[in-house]
Structure 1
Amino acid sequence: MYQQRNSFRSGSRGRHNRSNSNRSFGHNRSGRGRFQPKQLDPRLFIKPADAVQSEVAPVTSTFSDFKLPKQLVTNLSSMGFDTPTPIQDQALTPILNGHDLIGLADTGTGKTIAFVLPILAKLIKDPAQNALIIAPTRELAVQIKDDIKALSNGLPIKTVLLIGGTGIYRQIQELKRNPHIFIGTPGRLKDLHERGSLNLNNTHTIVLDEMDRMLDMGFVKDITKLLSFLPKERQTLLFSTTIDDRVEGIAHTFMNNPLKISVKTGATAQNVDQDVVHLSGSDKISVLKELLKQQRFQKVLIFGRTKYGVEKLSVTLSQNGFSVGAIHGNKRQSQRQRVLTDFKTDRINILVATDVAARGIDVKDITHVINYDQPDTYADYIHRIGRTGRAGKTGQALTFVE
């Protein structure tokens, strides 16, 4: 029905020249309309998983070694966290000491705890302060809020989630209760500030999470404006998977002699076995269904290009007896969050998503990522497959090629 690892392989495992990984091998396929997206070279999607060779020094400390309030260490232990990850190990001390910091780390490496712990420690010491955390997507903002809730258990720390897709007037009412931590997406934060509901005058800690993603999504003006409203005496923390001139520009303009730490291991790509599925004239949905019936496809994230296509695919799979949900821009935030929760808690084992809706998804134990529709860029591809192969486990990514 379909073929894997065929003519695109060169040698026993068909490695492609990795120097091409940042190039776009786009070309118009014959017979496609002029508005059809370009296709990437399928060789980019073929690479076996490697043993991760980390250049990061091994962590020998525990959370109790840091100057953290006792309640935070207790909460970490109750969550099963005793030893910090490399990004936490290297970032905690300078952040606790008040330095501005640029942290470069792959997704899924625990950077949220690296900035949440110092914020909570600061608020325990001085509850009159505020902190602002800006994230590129609603899903990531929700994830950060959930992490803060768990880490601040037993503490009088109030948070507010300020994202689109939910009622703004309810958020305005929550802001009147004087929360300690604002967590939100750029557009909604800017809207609330312009309405006079979000007062940033006492915000002395700001976190810019997944900065490269926020710039890719066109939020540079909103972020720049929000930063201009903050007190000059503040601590600014910037986390990003990559750093380029745009990120450097934000750092140079709004940060004070930031320390830069990098614990990137390349594990996201190395820990994922990447391959293609050649349709060879076979019906695309039939091939997908045959794959999903296999026992090893335990928890699967499927990417589609359009909101309509994602919804249609989800409905079709559901009608064929699969336990599936979908997230995309046409769904209300409450719907998206419900589906994501179902996926996290194994009520469903298949999630179909668009690129934008899937940014910020942090779900454990995803066994497979399937690119039902090819990504537009190689950067999007790397982001997609980074949802699997986490926490030292090997994941698999399959890309459909017609």
Structure 2
Amino acid sequence: MMFVRKAEVVETEAFCPKHQFADFAIDTRLKQNIVAKGYTTPTPIQDEAIPVLLEGRDVVGCANTGTGKTAAFLVPLIDKVLKNKKEKVLIVTPTRELAVQIQNELRVFTQNLGLYSVLCIGGVGIGPQIRDLSYAPNFVIGTPGRLKDLEDQRRLYFDDYQSIVLDEVDRMLDMGFIYDVKYIVSRLPRVRHSLFFSATMPAKVVGIMQEFLHNPVSIAIKNQPFSANVDQDVIKLNGRNKMEVLNDLLLDRAFQKVLVFGRTKWSMEKLSIELSRKGVQVTALHGNKSQSQRQRAIEMFKTDRIQVLVATDVASRGLDIDNVTHVINYDLPQTYEDYIHRIGRTGRAGKKGVALTFFD
């Protein structure tokens, strides 16, 4: 059974970077901000991607969340803008949450550098975004639907952007954005700097990649399988009430930081309310929440103000949350890929995690 597997002790080769951040030919002020964030040694994708991006080459990167890919593209693009303040960068992401995370990282790297960014995502009013775009920001970070809405209103023009990042392209296509992505690519300037990141490379993704990139450098980061550090097991309900079984598990002190996945927005909202009534510190994350509610839920979970985050699959990819002790599949995932993405939220950074799947 695919849901039962013990965590393995996996011997990984020690990574020996070719560079240190101090070695990169980037603006001194940017280097200072990188050091202030605590970075000294680049991750594999940063080590490979930053030098070629600084040369202006197109890049296709095959790497998972949690590999440091955001900094891999932000650092050279920030340096590019610092050298030419007229340079404009567009970063397209599948989810609001990922867009927010990228902007947060961008703000750390650009502190006191006089660069300006705008977040263009759904779930919040479009008015402030229209206002902010009128200030000619250096960076625009957004989701495909909202970016298209802004172009329809002639508040944003895709051909203004000389540097473009498509991030987590496979996820964008999974979410039904293939036509939006193709449209955005068709409206970009012919001469541009193109960056393309995807965890997997199915045929649909390769098709977009070929339209988007010119003579790219390909960087594939060998990842330890997400499941290697994760104890996987099943909970057989045998007629017991599913919510009561979950509540009993949560009383165990080992369940410190728990991500619970379910199939529908309605069922996850209901579960959150029922657990809360039983005294569990919990909140829900799903598509019916406003953007501010979603961000507050993520922040509370990240900072350990709640024990449990119940979520639909909107949260199973792109979120980078440390120290999740348990992932619980309250409802079965629809595909094996969804299962792998869900359990990949635990057992990270060399730590062991636990994934439990409920069966009737």
TM-score (norm 2): 0.97
What's the offset of the Cα at 1:55? Answer: 6.2
Q: Kindly indicate whether residue 243 of structure 2 is the aligned counterpart of residue 285 of structure 1.
A: yes
How far residue 247 of structure 1 moved from its aligned partner, in angstroms, is 1.3
Query: What does the per-residue CA deviation read over 1:158-199, in whole Å, with 9 as the maximum and x for residues that have no partner?
Result: 000000101011111110011110100000001111110012
Question: How far apart in 2 are the matches of 1:343 and 1:222?
Answer: 32
59-68 or 344-353: which moved more?
59-68
1:174 maps to which of 125, 129, 132: 132
Q: Which amino acid aligns with 1:370?
A: I
**Offset of 1:54 from its aligned partner?**
4.2
Correspondence 1:106 to 2:64: yes
Distance in structure 1 (CA, Å) of the matches to 2:327 and 2:305: 18
Shift of 1:346: 1.4
How many angstroms does 1:356 deviate by?
2.2
Report deviation, 1:243.
Answer: 0.6
Aligned AA (2:2) = L
Structure 1 residue 230: Cα displacement? 1.4
Displacement of 1:392 in angstroms is 1.8
Aligned partner of 1:92 in structure 2 is 50
1:248 to partner: Cα distance: 1.1
Aligned partner of 1:186: which letter? P
Is 2:19 aligned against 1:61?
A: yes
For residues 303-354 of structure 1, what are the alpha-carbon distances to aligned partners after superposition, in whole Å with 9 as ceiling and x for unaligned?
0111110001101111111111101111111111111111111111210000
Q: Is the 2:88–2:162 contact (alpha carbons within 8 Å) kept by the matching residues of 1?
A: yes
Residue number in structure 2 paired with 1:300 = 258
Contact 1:139/1:359 (CA < 8 Å) preserved in 2?
no
Distance 1:180 1:189 in 2: 16
Contact persistence 1:133–1:184 (CA under 8 A): yes
Q: Is contact 2:316-2:341 (8 Å) kept?
A: no
Deviation per residue, 1:275-301 (Å, 9 max, x gap) = 111112222112111111111111111
Partners of 1:292 and 1:374 lie apart in 2 by 19
> Any unmatched runs of 5+ in structure 2?
none
Q: Structure 1 residues 357 and 245 mapped into 2: Cα distance closer, same or farther (>3 Å)? A: same
User: Contact 1:299 / 1:368 at 8 angstroms: preserved in 2?
Assistant: yes
Is the aligned partner of 1:218 residue 2:185? no
The residue matched to 1:122 in structure 2 has which SS? helix
Does 2:274 match 1:324? no
Give SS of 2:159's match: coil
Letter in 1 for 2:58: D
Match of 1:71 among 5, 29, 32: 29
8 Å contact from structure 2 (residues 65, 318) kept in 1: no
Q: Which residue of 2 aligns with 1:247?
A: 205
1:151 is aligned to 109
For residues 374-397 of structure 1, what are the alpha-carbon distances to aligned partners after superposition, in whole Å with 9 as ceiling and x for unaligned?
Answer: 101001111111111222222111
Distance (Å, rounded) in 2 between the aligned partners of 1:328 and 1:379: 19
Query: TM-score with structure 1 length normalisation?
Result: 0.87
Which amino acid is 1:326 matched to? A
Question: Which of 362, 366, 374 is the equivalent residue of 2:324?
Answer: 366
Alignment-derived partner of residue 22 in structure 1: none
* SS, match of residue 162 in structure 2: strand
Give, as a single letter, the amino acid of the residue that structure 2 aligns with 1:135.
T
Structure 2 CA distance for partners of 1:224 and 1:346, relative to 1, 3 Å: same
Residue matched to 1:35: none
**Correspondence for 1:45:** 3
Residue 357 of structure 2 aligns with an amino acid whose one-letter code is: T
Q: Which secondary structure state, in structure 2, belongs to the residue aligned with residue 270 of structure 1?
A: helix
Secondary structure, in 3 states, of the residue corresponding to 1:393?
coil
Corresponding residue to 2:344 among 382, 386, 393: 386
Listed as ranges, the gaps of 5+ residues in structure 1 are: 1-42
Give the Å deviation of 1:56.
8.0
The letter for the 2-side match of 1:76 is I
After superposition, the C-alpha distances for 1:13-64 in whole angstroms (9 at most, x for unaligned) are xxxxxxxxxxxxxxxxxxxxxxxxxxxxxx1111222233446853253211
Distance in 2 of aligned mates of 1:111 and 1:400: 33
Q: Does 1:263 align with 2:221?
A: yes
1:338 to 296, 301, 307: 296
- Structure 1 contact 102–239 (Cα < 8 Å) conserved: yes
Alignment partner, residue 90 of structure 2: 132
Question: Number of matched residues?
Answer: 360
Are positions 1:117 and 2:96 aligned together? no
Matches within 5 A, 1:226-237: 226-237=184-195
